[in-house]
């Protein structure tokens, strides 16, 4: 029997198993694995696979939409290190401890016809398009029709969005929206760090990343939750945005409050997190206004009593 006839026999057997509604998912998996154990050396790469196997996976099984909970796609990728098939790198990370070196992936399995073959956008056997978007560099597939993706050569990975809407910042080493290009402030390789809230690595994260006013990065979803309870950067403590409205409210509130008599002549030496300058202000239990910039995002360094002020003068 020729290799082509052998593969056709294997694929027919797999299709027969998949159409058998009397078999459970695990039973189908066992039977398919048994077929691979008896097949040629190339297919034996997947024979002992217990988690990432040749059984098709679905993003929506009821609607027969192939993929996983992370991506829509019609293929699985063979990990070059563990020789197991997984629908995506996140599925691989859920069960394996080693990284999924997706750029080194060379083999895929078409989930439409079960053909094991070199990675490509179209199946060499059934000619099915594996995904609307395909990147040969990242070995990345995405069949989501409403999701725009492009490959950035400088980042070295695929990014969400339209390429015309972003520019690559060589300083922070990432793509940034052109909407904030004029006021973009960053630090060297600032995005190549863990999110200060959730701890996930941001450079390769699938979550949207935003630059705070200070230049530090954070996941957009983490920022939204964090900003509900805080107004300073979790890294450098600078204000997250223009806080003039909040600071005006604090100043009006202080004008209606009087400190106890024993604190009337007490002043405070403070450090401003925003302008990074030291100054003095009337002592308050909570709020101290920076003289140079008017910010209330300050730290109390020490209290200065009336006796100390007389001595210094």
Task: Return the structure tokens found at 16.
Answer: 């027969």
As a whole number of angstroms, the distance between CA 67 and CA 59 comes to 5
As a whole number of angstroms, the distance between CA 55 and CA 114 comes to 9
Residue 49 has a pLDDT of 43
Residue 50 has a pLDDT of 41
Distance of CA 113 to the CA centre of its chain: 32
Residue 265 has a pLDDT of 86
Q: What is the pTM of this model?
A: 0.63
As a whole number of angstroms, the distance between CA 273 and CA 267 comes to 19
Residue 313 has a pLDDT of 52
What does the CA dihedral 196, 200, 202, 207 come to, rounded to 10 degrees?
Answer: -110
- Nearest partner of 152 among 180, 175, 172, 176, judged by Cα: 175
Other beta carbons within 10 angstroms of residue 223's beta carbon come to 21
As a whole number of angstroms, the distance between CA 309 and CA 313 comes to 6
- 134, 119 Cβ separation under 8 angstroms: no
Residue 312 has a pLDDT of 56
Residue 308 has a pLDDT of 66
Residue 71 has a pLDDT of 95
Query: Do β-strands 174-177 and 85-86 pair in parallel, antiparallel, or remain unpaired?
Result: unpaired
Residue 272 has a pLDDT of 95
As a whole number of angstroms, the distance between CA 10 and CA 29 comes to 14
Task: Return the structure tokens found at 198.
Answer: 């959730």
Specify the residue for token string 């073959």.
117
Per residue of the chain (313 residues), what is the pLDDT tens digit? 555 666 777 778 888 888 888 888 878 877 887 776 555 445 445 444 444 477 899 999 999 999 999 999 999 999 988 888 999 999 999 999 999 998 999 999 999 999 999 999 999 999 999 999 999 999 999 999 989 999 999 999 999 999 999 999 998 888 888 888 888 888 888 888 899 999 999 988 888 888 888 889 999 999 999 999 999 999 999 999 888 899 999 999 988 888 898 888 899 999 999 999 999 999 999 999 999 999 999 999 999 887 665 555 5
- 289, 299 Cβ separation under 8 angstroms: no
- 233, 243 Cβ separation under 8 angstroms: no
């Amino acid at each position: 029997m020729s290799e082509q006839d052998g593969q056709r026999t294997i694929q027919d057997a797999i299709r027969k198993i998949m159409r058998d509604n009397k078999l459970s998912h695990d039973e189908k998996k066992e039977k398919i694995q048994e077929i691979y154990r008896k097949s040629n050396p190339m297919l034996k790469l997947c024979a002992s696979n217990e988690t990432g196997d040749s059984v098709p996976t679905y993003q929506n099984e009821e609607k027969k939409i192939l993929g996983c909970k992370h991506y829509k796609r019609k293929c699985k990728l063979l990990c070059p290190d563990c020789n197991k098939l997984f629908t995506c790198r996140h599925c691989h990370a859920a069960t394996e401890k080693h990284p999924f070196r997706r750029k080194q992936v060379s083999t895929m399995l078409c989930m439409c016809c079960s053909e094991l073959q070199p990675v490509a956008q179209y199946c060499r056997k059934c000619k099915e398009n594996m995904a609307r978007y395909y990147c040969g560099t990242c070995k990345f597939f995405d069949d989501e029709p409403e999701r725009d993706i492009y490959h950035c050569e400088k980042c070295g990975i695929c990014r969400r969005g339209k390429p015309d809407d972003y520019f690559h910042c060589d300083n922070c080493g990432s793509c940034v929206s052109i909407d904030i290009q004029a006021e973009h402030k960053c630090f060297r390789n600032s995005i190549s760090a863990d999110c200060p809230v959730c701890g996930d690595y941001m450079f390769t994260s699938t979550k949207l990343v935003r630059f705070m006013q200070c230049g530090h990065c954070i996941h957009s979803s983490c920022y939204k939750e964090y900003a509900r309870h805080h107004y300073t950067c979790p890294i450098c403590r600078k204000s997250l945005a223009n806080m003039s409205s909040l600071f005006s409210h604090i100043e009006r509130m202080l004008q209606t409050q009087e400190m106890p008599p024993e604190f009337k002549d007490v002043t405070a030496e403070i450090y401003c997190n925003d302008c990074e300058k030291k100054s003095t202000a009337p002592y308050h239990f909570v709020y101290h206004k920076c003289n140079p910039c008017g910010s209330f995002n300050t730290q109390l360094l020490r209290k200065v009593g009336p006796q100390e002020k007389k001595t210094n003068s």
